[in-house]
Structure 1
């Protein structure tokens, strides 16, 4: 009886181990595919990434200028401070 239970448990354990090995193999394949696509992107993917970068940079700049404009309207000394900082930044070589 003990041997039968032990054999059943061993078989169940081996089945689980094999299933986990298969799942790990599938995950490794998926990871390698995604990493490979990232490391050697096609021209279409590169253009898509550049487009996203430019879009987010442009949106970010618009938000910053909008924020500075809003603060300049609400608090005029802030506008003078920003202009002074900009002038000193431009003046330094």
Structure 2
């Protein structure tokens, strides 16, 4: 539950992400957003595809990344950590349905 709360607290960063233009963007105090290729995430009832948006810190090291589908209000996959160290956290989207 803590990760869901933490992920929503970072939603202000999502405002800086522009999936239409996909230009690398400097976010002062956080680092640089870089847009990478499309990735697929296997969910409980299907496969979801989204653009990988990575946030690199001021030293050029991977800090976080999200796989985002603009039609789904949650990131398909979220990674938080330092270049895949042991203390990193990955949250994977399982399923989504409109009601």
Please classify the TM superposition score into its range, dividing by the shorter chain length: under 0.3
Larger Rg: 1
Larger relative contact order, structure 1 or 2 (CA cutoff 8 Å, min sep 6): 2
- So what's the TM-score if we normalise by structure 2? 0.21
